[in-house]
A and B are shown apart, each in its own frame.
Chain A
Amino acid sequence: MGDVFVLVEHRRGELREVTLEMLGKGRELAEQTGGSLKAVLLGHGVDAFAGELANQAREVLVIEDERLENFNSELYQKVLASLLTERKPTLTLIGHTACGMDLAPGLAAELNLPLATDCIGFEFEDGSLLAIREMYGGKLRAKVSFRESKQYMATVRQAAFPLKEIEPLRGQIVALDSPLAEEAKRKKFIEYVEAAVGDVDITQSEIIVAVGRGIKEQENLEIVEKLAGAVGGVLAGSRPVIDSGWLPPDRQVGQSGKTVKPKLYIAVGISGASQHLAGMKASDTIVAINKDPNAPIFNVATYGIVDDLFKVVPALTEQLSGS
């Protein structure tokens, strides 16, 4: 088998962490395929990254073009379709991110490549590549095989492959000509818009009480608010609570919201989808209250209470207030 390519993801002058995670995993996979690990860097004014990436890959393929300054899937697809057709890596890894997922499915379809998305593991079985991914909100995992092909593609979940201390590779930086002949025609990047800043910055709180789908109705939020008051914490929520408009967006914990590391995180009625776990699993002490014993949140929690939150939360609040 041949090379492993990793598409470098960067934004506003910073490398995104998923890039380094993919390079770490890509290095292991390249050792197994007997190929070479190459980082593919598309952008404008990205020389600073190239040096850093050269420590992590055998080669850094750099395509410098001012039209590639900000991510645009139309242009990225053009450049990568040309590069992958010419260089034929066995496996191309792309981040499972808002940018990666705007790009990979269309690119794979154009090149007629098998694609597995949101992968959290890779295995070789009898020389064939298999991907491991989650289904049903993390309650099950699936082993996925690819149709026999010369090239494969996968998108890789953020934080699925923790960074390890590794020996630098001192790879070569190779500048390639941009294959772009013209501006983007059908899709134009306009600008970035920052999230609105609210009254409370939950990332600064030492105690967070977070509420999820299990709360069922907006009026029920009150019992969790009381718990937050009793324990001296701030109230936050998982995506379904924010989507329903029951808490403002700046209270969202998870990949598309805030990443928090409080001393104490109490998760109430939160099942623990990976996007939520990504935003809170580094908390010091995690308490999970959920009636489903199989909820993934119990895999990251320090203490778990498997019971009806509508019974446990008031009892806990009462005892905290009395103590």
Chain B
Amino acid sequence: MDTVVCVKHVPETAEADIVIRGDERGIEEKDLTFDINEADNYAIEEALLWKEKFGGSITVITVGPEDANMTVRMCMAKGADKAIRLDDERFEGSDSYAIAKILHAALKDMEFDVVLTGIQASDDGHGQVGPILAQLLGIPHAAYVIETEIVEEGKLARVHRELEGGLHDVVEIELPAVLTIQTGINEPRYASILGIRKATKKEIALSGLDDLGLQEAEVGEAGSKTRLEKLFLPPVGERAQILEGSPQEVSAELIGLLKDKGVI
């Protein structure tokens, strides 16, 4: 069973301060730490579980700058066999559609049973690349996958998709296919020290625009269908009443407020 996993190297912003860049079309990245996109980490784990069960190989692929090697190497440290990084300054400004085209160019002549991606990236949250890639490859896809079962290797999978409110739908899908993986599907492992040491020596194949046989007009802003014009802070609505003071002081004030309201 050969699996390709598309991963993205993203800034961790959940607990960090975000500063909008001068051109208002991106954020200042220098003080942020980067890591594998959370949902992609679950996708890698799913591929590792399949490899343990069925054998075969895992290829990890990313579109991103040299720094993304860190994320790719961590996937190799966990057990991915091959790695490809797609990078070219002309990719700059690519939207989901253009990113999917770049991935498609790299995957179209490869043999695989399944392509996995996370359901969406934690930074831009488009959720588009996986299903568009499937469309370009001419293979079926299932999005929001929260459980997988390979019914027949190379032929058929049965997957649960996570709908709203805790409901799943169960879908049978022909392979090869693209599955976009939801967080929580498994328990991602940590890489071993030995794995990490070995991964530092492994090769990451690098391809650019020309290697992929793409035209400049197919990628970057020219090849995109949407453009991020401007980032801005959300409007401040009815913000919470912020309680100030030491933990003891704010606790006492909060308890008083809740008692006055009759909630406790």
Contact = CB atoms under 8 A, between A and B. Distances in A.
Nearest to B172: A188
Nearest to B163: A98
A265 B56 CA distance: 48
Contacts of A186: 139-140, 173-174, 177
A142 B231 contact: yes
B247 A311 contact: yes
Interface residues of A, number: 103
Interface string B1-27: 000000000000111011010000001
B207 interface: no
Contacts of B68: none
B228 A249 contact: no
A99 interface: yes
Contacts of A293: 242
Interface string A131-149: 1011111111111111101
A226 to B, nearest CB: 13
A140 B161 contact: no
B158 interface: yes
Contacts of A47: none
A258 B165 CA distance: 6
A316 B251 contact: yes
B92 interface: no
Interface stretch (A34-42, A55-63, A162-170, A192-200): A192-200
B240 A298 contact: yes
A141 B232 contact: yes
Contacts, number: 270
Contact of A304 (B17, B139, B243): B243
B134 A141 contact: no
Contacts of B97: 109, 115
Interface stretch (A21-29, A171-179, A282-290): A282-290
B187 interface: yes
A310 to B, nearest CB: 9
Nearest to B262: A263
A110 B161 CA distance: 23
B170 A193 contact: yes
Given A101-B144, A307-B250, A311-B247, A298 B135 contact: no
A30 interface: no
How big is chain B's contact interface, by range? 35 or more
Per DSSP, chain A at the interface is mixed
Contact of B128 (A97, A105, A187): A105
Contacts of A140: 18, 20, 27, 231-234
A303 B252 contact: no
Contacts of B214: none
B237 A117 contact: no
Interface stretch (B72-80, B82-90, B191-199, B219-227): B219-227
Contacts of A292: 15, 17
Contact of B227 (A144, A194, A286, A323): A144
B231 A302 contact: no
A257 B136 CA distance: 33
A90 interface: no
Nearest to B130: A105
Contacts of A72: 171
Contacts of B96: 105, 115
Contacts of B27: 136, 140
B101 to A, nearest CB: 9
Interface string B225-264: 1111111111011111111000110111011011001011
Contacts of A11: 163
Given A139-B13, A194-B167, A320-B255, A147 B224 contact: yes
Given A105-B96, A294-B17, A256 B140 contact: no
A54 B174 CA distance: 38
A271 B162 contact: no
A201 to B, nearest CB: 12
The 10 A-B pairs at the shortest CB distance, nearest first, are namely: A195-B166, A304-B240, A243-B184, A301-B240, A114-B225, A315-B247, A105-B131, A186-B140, A316-B251, A105-B128
25 contacts: A11-B163, A97-B164, A102-B142, A115-B96, A117-B126, A134-B234, A136-B18, A137-B14, A137-B125, A139-B13, A140-B231, A146-B226, A147-B224, A147-B225, A158-B164, A190-B170, A190-B172, A195-B165, A195-B167, A213-B15, A243-B184, A255-B164, A288-B240, A304-B239, A306-B242
Given A140-B234, A250-B166, 7 more contacts: A109-B131, A136-B122, A137-B122, A143-B229, A190-B158, A258-B166, A304-B240
Interface of A: 11, 70-74, 97-99, 101-102, 104-106, 108-110, 113-118, 130-131, 133-147, 149, 158, 185-195, 207, 213-214, 231-232, 239-240, 242-243, 245, 249-250, 252, 255-259, 263-264, 271, 284-288, 291-294, 296, 298-307, 311-312, 314-316, 318-320, 323
